[in-house]
Structure 1
Amino acid sequence: MLVVEDNALNIKLFCDLLAAHGHEPRAVTDSREALATAREFRPDLIITDIQLPHISGLELIQLFNSEEVLKDVPVMAVTAYAAAGDDERIRAAGATSYVSKPISVARFVEEVEALLNKPALETNGA
């Protein structure tokens, strides 16, 4: 799994939760490195913050989805800005789902497991 997050505490939380549930997370703190890292090891799931420096999470999701080798990888957005219309905006960018910060540990884990257990076609809405 790839975790794209610029906050060290969130990286630790997400990676610890993922590892505790048997996953092998890899984190990048710089959104400019995320695409190359994802291409390199082709994660089963990408978890990305929306508010990132350099390249926004929304732009990053679009980049992931434009890549032939990554377009079937589910993307879970994590955002502190869950206002009206954000769900549609995040999904329009190509995210499979999103979780609001501060995260509910149970909801985060449930969402990860649900995304990993969906067939590839279903996660992309096809």
Structure 2
Amino acid sequence: MKDAKPIYSITGGEWGSEVDVTLWSGMGPEGFRHYWAPLAGKTRPGDAVWMDVLIHGAGWHQCGPFGVGSNGQEISSPMGRVTHFSAFRACGRHNNSSGCTSDYYTCCSRHTHHPTLPQQESTPPRD
């Protein structure tokens, strides 16, 4: 993955400094921009990570959740390619508290509001 860099992280709040969910971006071998979201830190079973993705012509969908199986395990969502999705945001659950990045991201820019983005917090089903 070329040019891999963090775009936005969720830390603090009810999670304190125990875990971090970060939306990453990088250029894949085919020349397409990819996004993914790892969950790292003092994770425990019951924690999870997922991405909300905007699919061209089909609205917002949830990719995940992907659950933690053991204490301290780092997990990640699969990579989403810009050609398949037009916007992304990272979400996670820790200590029975869920949160998402407040912004969503397209291939090249950060936005604070999208007219079709659910304004409430995205909450995955329990594993």
Q: TM-score, normalised by structure 1?
A: 0.29
Query: Which structure dedicates a bigger proportion of its chain to strand?
Result: 2
Larger radius of gyration: 2
Q: TM-score, normalised by structure 2?
A: 0.29
